[in-house]
Amino acid sequence: MENRRDRFSEERRDLLGKALTVTLAGLAAGTLAIGNDRVEAAEEAAAGEKSLVPIPDVPVPVAGESQIIRMMQDLRRALGKPIEQRRWGMVIDLRKCVGCQACTIACIAENKLPPGVVYRPVITEEKGQFPHVSKSFLPRPCMQCEEPPCVDVCPVGATAKRPDGIVAIDYEACIGCRYCITACPYGARTFDFGEFYDEGGEVAAYEQVASHEYGKRWSREGDGSPIGNARKCTFCLHRLEQGDLPTCVVSCQGRATFFGDLNDPESLVHELAGKANATRLKESAGTKPVVYYLQ
Ligand code: SF4
């Protein structure tokens, strides 16, 4: 593993600065403990010791009640349908995003992301001239495009669109060519260079905890996947299949992110995506994202 890590580290240093690594190291070390109970439950399930966490019995929401409860009801209804009848989608209300990056860090903790791998950055833009200045924030997950250019360029068929619309990567088939990273118009894919936050020393205990992307157990031991693979947001597919909302949705401090089944006319995301102020990024690229922004 050392040789591979050294090679990736050298390559990465050419591509990425160290600033993000330093910042995220501190933040991730402090937050990876979140959800330990669920990680242990998922590990037990992966080992065949117990069934996955059951879908919670969510109370029926009443008018004015939590949008989280409504989305969990929507999720539960969607999971009751055949997979090909679901179309997972996300709506992000930019008017409510305060740029706190809680979603970014929650995602890093949930998916045990290493240095340089970020699935949901919040892109910050400064406008105006002092003293008349303002900032805008744009969370950017994978758009789970209906026409995803990242799929067509893969030479080994390691990335594919699932019947529910999520664009998935088969880590065991991926050869790390990175064509998909170049093809994505949204910069939504990154590469796992095999780095750890504790560079040059012992790999810390929190970095040895496996992730459960795609419902499997990924420990990043030795040269093991997803080291050497392209990586990206999965809409927290492993959480969805247990009846949980994506971690960026539940961690959002401004309640700016919504998730559900766009095919369900009763769902909150269907309602919000149909608003007159709903837009999608780079419509001209013809990729048909299922992430909508309200502005
Ligand atoms: Fe593929 Fe990029 Fe679209 Fe995600 S946003 S599906 S990585 S092209």
Q: How far is CA 78 from the centre of its chain?
A: 20
Q: Using a 6 Å cutoff on CB, does residue 111 contact ligand 1?
A: no
Distance 188 CA to ligand 1 centre (A): 6
Q: How far is the CA of 236 from the centre of ligand 1 (A)?
A: 15
What are the backbone angles phi and psi of residue 150, rounded to the nearest 5°? -65, -25
DSSP 8-state symbol, 207 = G
Ligand 1 centroid to 39 CA: how many Å?
A: 27
Could you tell me the distance, in angstroms and rounded to a whole number, from the CA of residue 142 to the centre of ligand 1? 5
pLDDT tens digits in sequence order for the chain, 295 residues long: 444 445 544 554 444 333 333 333 333 333 333 344 444 544 554 454 444 555 566 666 666 668 999 999 999 999 999 999 999 999 999 999 999 999 999 999 999 999 999 999 999 999 999 999 999 999 999 999 999 999 999 999 999 999 999 999 999 999 999 999 999 999 999 999 999 998 667 888 888 899 999 999 998 988 899 999 999 999 999 999 999 999 999 999 999 999 999 999 999 999 999 999 999 999 999 999 999 999 9
105 touches ligand 1 (CB under 6 Å) = no
Residue 27's closest CA among 92, 100, 123, 94?
A: 100
Q: Are 260 and 67 in contact (CB under 8 A)?
A: no
Structure tokens at 217: 């157990």
Tell me how far apart the alpha carbons of residues 18 and 4 are, in angstroms, rounded to a whole number: 19
- Calculate the dihedral angle through the C-alpha atoms of 222, 224, 229, 232, rounding to the nearest 10 degrees: -110
What stretches of the chain show up as alpha helix (H) in DSSP?
2-15, 19-31, 36-46, 67-79, 102-111, 149-152, 179-183, 237-240, 247-251, 268-273
Amino acid at 146: E
* pTM of the predicted structure, to 2 decimals: 0.82
Shortest-distance Cα residue to atom 6 of ligand 1? 144
DSSP per-residue string spanning 120-182:
S-EEEEEEEETTEEEEEEEE------SS-HHHHT-TT--EEE-TTS-EEE-TTT-----HHHH
